[in-house]
Amino acid sequence: MKLELTIDLQYVVTAIVIFLTVRWLLWKLKVGNYNTRYVFITGCDTGFGKLLAQRLDKLGCHVIAGCMTSSQCTELKKVCSNRLETVVMNVCDVKSIETARKHVEKFLPGDKSLWAIVNNAGISGNIAPTEWTSNESFKSVIEVNLLGVMYVAKEFLPLVRREKGRVINMASIMGRFAISTAGYSASKFGVEGFSDQLRRELYRAGVSVHLIEPGYFRTGIVEENHLALSMSKSFKESTPEVQKFYGKSYLQTTTERSTKALTLIMSSDLNKVINAYEHSITAKYPKTRYVVGWDSQILFRLLWNLPECISDFIVSRGMAVPEGAQ
């Protein structure tokens, strides 16, 4: 009996090793012919979008980069080849998106369409507890991070479908485990749900949909000084009732603990995210989800797999207690 169990275990281990090896080899395969691939990217003004545009341009891809302003378009062109095309576009404005599509269609050769659209544009929104956050702030972060993704995907899908290409959406580990702010987490949970639905709808149409799920990276969207200023401003603009309940000690403690946590876990190696983006665009067999960053791979993966009663207990231990609840 013991011998049989040992043999069965060897078979299981061998099967797992073979599976992981084959999967790794498949992930290494590339589509090639980059000089025939046209990729449209939103949010190329700074951060991940700008770096991705430069990376794909160096690979030989034809990049159409969407920026918020013409000045940012000009700056991006200075660091890229003549292949790169730019377009001014606001992902919250349907008319702006429609105009951008017409611009892209004019740029594409007659026999080509888009290999990929990358919904990269995003904002952090107001960094503060829910009761300190204005309705306008909720609206703005959801418009950019979620509705913008939906608007752009819907408008550009016909171009991707012709090429049987890909849609790559920027989500976040906060779309798996909410430990950020209400508006941001809600927007990223929405991106996850939208991407899952779209992937299944397009499965038999030959178009694939992929998610990038980074943890905390130092991009300028979130950093310690910005967090402190946002928290202080939001507290001052909240109602007297809310200020009385939470108290200034809650503001101070929460700000200090949050900035320390950011300093501890935030990575400055943006190439990890760019590598994930590149693989989702150039791999013959791309992943459905790319969990990026040590915090996502270890800390948050552990938290989202624990029962909620346990993960809630762990997370709440690091939170301040409002003065009105003591």
What positions carry a catalytic annotation?
A: 184
Q: How far is CA 42 from CA 46, 88, 156, 265, 324, in A?
A: 11, 10, 12, 27, 44
Find the distance separating the first CA and the last CA of the chain, reported in whole Å.
60
Which of 279-318 are b and which e, b meaning 16 or more Cβ less than 10 Å from the residue's Cβ? bbbbbeebeebbbbbebbeebbbebeeeeeeebeeeeeee
**DSSP letter, residue 322:** P
The DSSP H or E segment spanning 38 is: strand 38-41
The DSSP H or E segment spanning 211 is: strand 208-214
Which of 106-123 are b and which e, b meaning 16 or more Cβ less than 10 Å from the residue's Cβ? eebeeeebbbbbbbbbbb
Q: How far is CA 188 from CA 45, 146, 176, 180, 185, in A?
A: 21, 7, 8, 11, 5
